[in-house]
Structure 1
């Protein structure tokens, strides 16, 4: 009697978020393979530990924007309630970094988060910014670097370019300046005034590569 192969839960088709796609374009092949493995088998350790690691921090930032500095008390309390020390410390650091930044005084107004997706050569590209807000009457699509190290400036720029391109492709008219990447570790605000065609060309080429690689990625 032949053994029955054990079914391992996996994602059938390749899909990447905009920031992950931008980082993918900047990495050597071995690290690209690791990213694709994490995306195909998201339930396997240690990948599952990474999911929603900064969910409380993201909620805390939204609370700070909506309530101002008075919201810092509740945001801190939510962070302090996190059982695991590393996650608790990182979350508190992110919240404090945003509270001390110039972005607190921008008058941003939180909106309902936007989510879009686009098929790029068989790759499902997903856009869901960390924060959708209004500044005056203009929409803002904002990404954050939550990690305790400086974000690769080129990867941040490519994130903005890919996000702007995807928005246009799905019919959402937006100026490049309306998409932002805030590095909470350095305080740097990354913005673009135009989109480079070479970035989108590189994305398209890699999407085809990912589509070919996907079936060969084993558990």
Structure 2
């Protein structure tokens, strides 16, 4: 049973967000109404106003997510250089269980030191902060650090370390899922999260 929603009271940013996330096949009439409301409100804007293509609450673009991942990857890679120098690169060609566990622990220490404050306060990494996007629960609220660490990061990290199949899942299947309609990677589905835009600082 559909709820009767008065979209005339929605702001333009709110309409953008709803238009982004609504299932248009399941609710074609409602989607059509939202599009009409958006068109009406855009006509009311003065000429000098620039429309925000990424309103707060809308799904983050694939480009923004990619850029954030690249930034975080470079930062994390640089932070891992001390461990590689200490252990030696040859040790990683046939890693022992202790090295695997040590690498996982070291990785989480790196994340805690570099990204911990942003993850705890804003559900963001450094890369996500730079792109003004954050990790959210499916209801649009900010994801807490426990969900991010234990449901979003830890399963992917362990899967990647343990098996070749895990490496294929994490390195290939996981990122490819971003091209789905919901723009969610495999770790988003596991943790029941999504990545959305937040208001950019003035």
Same-fold call, TM cutoff 0.5: no
Q: Say which structure is richer in helix.
A: 2
Larger Rg: 2
TM-score, structure 2 as length reference: 0.24
- Larger relative strand fraction: 1
Give the TM-score, by structure 1 length: 0.23
